[in-house]
A and B are shown apart, each in its own frame.
Chain A
């Protein structure tokens, strides 16, 4: 699964586009986050980490297809 990373999350993962291995075709957002936290423990130090799926904020129970456009959204600070 390709995962975009921005801001502080990009610094932690070391890349703006991670090639992240997932075994199943579908994975729940909360399970994906657990896998990400295991690989990149520093992500747990962020005040929050949202996941977007196909350009929309996803809930913890959203099912993600490995071909969806997924992104790591740390706290935003526009404006």
Chain B
């Protein structure tokens, strides 16, 4: 399996999708997480992502290896953004390609769910008058 695992300022969605294309694969399943304008009824101005980059990349690599062991996927892409992000900006891209769709759906779901649980990345939300770090997991 070929994989691309990155943390970068700006996610190139077109390039990420392009790298999932494989002649033996009939299904590509992608998930794109984006910045929304409301959280817990509060109007969000923008987000900031901080990463422990070395460890985050290592954890993402571990998750990719777990997914490859469980599902027959030929291509895998995991990219997370860092830095300042505005409303609608993509902040995470997960994609897998497999012969049939079921495996790609399951693998992509697994990768985004586990990324949110264990990868050391932190989101700070800024509202009209203050900012706060989000404590999501655990």
Q: Point out residues on A near B: beta carbons under 8 Å.
A: 4, 6-8, 10-11, 46-48, 52, 55-57, 71, 73-79
Contacts and interface: CB of A to CB of B under 8 A. Distances in A.
A75 B135 contact: yes
A76 B124 contact: no
Nearest to A54: B55
A79 B54 contact: no
Most buried by A among B56, B122, B136: B122
Contacts of B92: 78-79
Interface in B94-138: 112, 115-124, 133-138
A52 B52 contact: yes
Interface residues of B, number: 29
A71 B55 contact: yes
Contacts of B87: none
A77 B55 contact: no
Contact of B138 (A4, A8, A47, A78): A47
Contact of A52 (B50, B55, B117, B133): B55
A4 B55 CA distance: 12
B52 A79 contact: no
A4 B51 CA distance: 12
